[in-house]
């Protein structure tokens, strides 16, 4: 097994290696368009573009200024669409890909501009006859790819766009289900079965690539640095400890697979969300997101371990189960119009969430006054990653657990800050954790106090990410507002001055959230899901009136 997961590009580690036919026999040029799929191993689009007698191969990545250029108006360093951690991770992944391509006699050609315009120009100027790029299910790429395929078809360019970012083709699953995506993991599993490619070894090594042809007048650059893109020098302590790239992904995979007992006994609900010095998961999600690691190769490596294990966990909680969850969300997202919003989304409960910028900002900026929640949000800002149970806690707290803020607002912040931000999975998880879809047991919530304490009674995680509380005794670390003033003074952390008071009372807020969700669910049931804006406004006004009456009833009565 270890041989299968220790990839190098100079010597093949699997018997099935990619070889090119004679390059001299043809005179045509091919283009491989990298977007995700930033890897050499298990890359069918690269295999296609580099074979069939291609004399020249142009490996291209297009930097879209809208995605990469600094936006000084954003709430965190980064562009209009992505935080600086994810941009840096992408640049590192591109640099690693370029290094691997150079070892194979090629290089990565980086161009800047609107992707469609750049690709059309390259296809024309370089007289490309074959175009390869990985199939992408995201709406943005779906629209982009239709334009590219139509252009290519009109000028006689052959296009190959294989499904290799996921284990299954979402279209196949949806077709098997009568044209609609399965809405439960169990039904997805029944439809999916075993992946069609899983019975044979994947191609993981390339011996060489055709050379890059003449650039013509195209402006080609090397992979830029953050500074070259216009970002200020950011200290290492402010950036994620996870480095991007296929090489790093394969090292992490090999390390994880070498611990065969851990792989066999992996059980998702039992991970420790407070473990940060050595995270309780593989931290392979950002590498899967950018395609630095093939999910199919990951799947085969895990299968190799499980074949020789005396016993092992099974989906949905096992390591394979996590990969299948990923495909489940990809399939539902691909087959559900307006999947990334509440309005118009047929699988999403219509709920009159609060529009409260103050509470949203307190949550985003780690100022809720609940140390467990705030520490997680600091880790998100600094690392761009946190354990999945930590994500569950802060998402529940923002939405159905305490603040009752719209899940789309939290989704936007995760989408910006996470290095593994993935359109299908991020939206799917927010729908789930807000009890808007998939999961409807809204009475089950994550306590912002007791949940973290269960894993980390001493509060080491909080002390690391919230150093203002580093000297708070463990008895008060999760509820510092309950510490006597003398204790706060000794800990050099006065609540309300050095660290915020809680923005809400958890006991009161959680009860109110449950009541609101019960009424919203009843509204959805009565109207059979056809809930309009006015229906939501009426219910929202009722919530406000109920809250006003509750406040009045709690005011002390004046003495006559």
3-state secondary structure of 131: strand
pLDDT at site 539: 97
For the stretch 175-189, pLDDT in tens is: 999 999 999 999 999
The answer to whether the beta carbons of residues 48 and 135 sit under 8 Å apart is no
Rounded distance between C-alpha atoms, residue 304 and residue 315, angstroms? 16
Q: How are strands ordered across the β-sheet holding 56-63?
A: 109-112, 56-63, 29-34, 128-132, 158-160
List alpha helices for 224-347, DSSP H.
Answer: 246-258, 260-265, 285-289, 295-307, 319-335
Mean pLDDT across 471-500: 98
Reading the block at residue 43, the tokens are 């890359």
Q: Classify 107 as helix, strand or coil.
A: coil
Q: How far is CA 224 from CA 98, 229, 503, in A?
A: 12, 7, 42
Mean pLDDT of the chain: 92
Residue 290 CA, distance from chain mean position: 9
Burial of 397-415, coded b for 16+ CB within 10 Å and e otherwise, reads bbbbbbbbbbbbbbbbbbb
Closest by Cα among 217, 32, 54, 57 to 119: 32
How many separate helices (H) and strands (E) can be counted in the chain? 22, 5
pLDDT tens across 313-331, in order?
Answer: 999 999 999 999 999 999 9
Start-to-end C-alpha separation, the chain: 83
Query: What burial letters (b/e) apply to 39-55, b meaning 16+ CB within 10 Å?
Result: bbbbbbbbbbbbbbbbb
pLDDT band at 20 (very low <50, low <70, confident <90, very high): very low
State the DSSP string of 267-279. -GGG--TT--SS-
Answer yes or no: are the C-beta atoms of 122 and 157 closer than 8 Å.
no
pTM for this model (two decimals): 0.92
pLDDT at 236: 64
């Amino acid at each position: 097994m270890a041989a299968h997961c220790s990839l190098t590009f100079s010597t093949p580690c699997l018997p099935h290696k990619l070889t090119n036919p004679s390059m001299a026999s043809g005179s045509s040029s091919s283009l491989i368009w990298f977007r995700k799929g930033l890897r050499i191993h298990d890359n069918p689009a690269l295999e296609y573009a580099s074979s069939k007698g291609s004399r020249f191969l142009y490996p291209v990545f297009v930097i879209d200024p809208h995605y990469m250029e600094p936006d000084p108006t954003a709430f965190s360093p980064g562009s209009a669409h992505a935080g600086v951690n994810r941009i840096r991770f992408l640049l590192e992944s591109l640099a690693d890909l370029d290094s691997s391509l150079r070892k194979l006699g090629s290089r990565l050609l980086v161009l800047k501009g609107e992707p469609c315009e750049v690709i059309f120009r390259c296809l024309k100027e370089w007289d490309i006859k074959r175009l390869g790029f990985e199939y992408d299910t995201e709406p943005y790429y779906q629209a982009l790819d239709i334009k590219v395929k139509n252009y290519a078809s009109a000028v006689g360019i052959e296009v190959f766009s294989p499904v290799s970012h996921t284990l299954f083709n979402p279209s196949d699953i949806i077709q098997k289900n009568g044209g609609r995506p399965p809405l439960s993991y169990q039904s997805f599993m029944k439809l999916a079965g075993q992946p069609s490619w899983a019975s044979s070894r994947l191609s993981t090594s390339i011996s060489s690539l055709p050379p890059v042809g003449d650039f013509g007048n195209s402006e080609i650059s090397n992979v830029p640095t953050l500074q070259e893109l216009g970002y200020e020098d950011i200290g290492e302590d402010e950036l994620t400890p996870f480095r991007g790239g296929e090489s790093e992904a394969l090292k992490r995979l090999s390390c994880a697979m070498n611990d065969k007992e851990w792989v066999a006994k992996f059980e998702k609900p039992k991970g420790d969300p407070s473990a940060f010095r050595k995270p309780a998961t593989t931290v392979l999600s950002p590498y899967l997101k950018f395609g630095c690691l093939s999910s199919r190769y990951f799947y085969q490596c895990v299968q190799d371990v499980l074949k020789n294990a005396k016993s092992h966990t099974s989906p949905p909680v096992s390591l394979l189960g996590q990969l299948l969850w990923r495909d489940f969300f990809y399939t539902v997202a691909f087959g559900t119009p307006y999947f990334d919003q509440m309005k118009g989304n047929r699988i999403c409960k219509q709920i009159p969430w609060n529009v409260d910028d103050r509470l949203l900002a307190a949550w985003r900026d780690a100022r809720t006054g609940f140390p467990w929640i705030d520490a997680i949000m600091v880790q998100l800002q600094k690392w761009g990653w946190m354990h999945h149970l930590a994500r569950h806690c802060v998402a529940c707290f923002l939405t159905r657990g305490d603040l009752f803020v719209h899940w789309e607002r939290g989704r936007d912040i995760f989408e910006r800050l996470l290095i593994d931000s993935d359109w299908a999975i991020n939206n799917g998880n927010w729908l789930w954790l807000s009890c808007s879809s998939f999961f409807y047991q809204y009475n089950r919530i994550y306590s912002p106090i007791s949940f973290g304490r269960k894993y980390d009674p001493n509060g080491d995680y909080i002390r690391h990410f919230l150093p203002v509380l580093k000297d708070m005794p463990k008895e008060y670390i999760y509820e510092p507002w309950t510490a006597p003033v003398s204790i706060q003074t000794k800990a050099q952390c006065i609540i309300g001055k050095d660290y915020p008071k809680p923005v809400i009372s958890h006991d009161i807020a959680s009860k109110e959230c449950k009541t609101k969700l019960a009424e919203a669910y009843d509204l959805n049931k009565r109207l059979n899901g056809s809930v309009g804006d006015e229906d939501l406004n009426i219910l929202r006004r009722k919530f406000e009136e109920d809250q006003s009456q509750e406040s009045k009833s709690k005011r002390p009565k004046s003495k006559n």
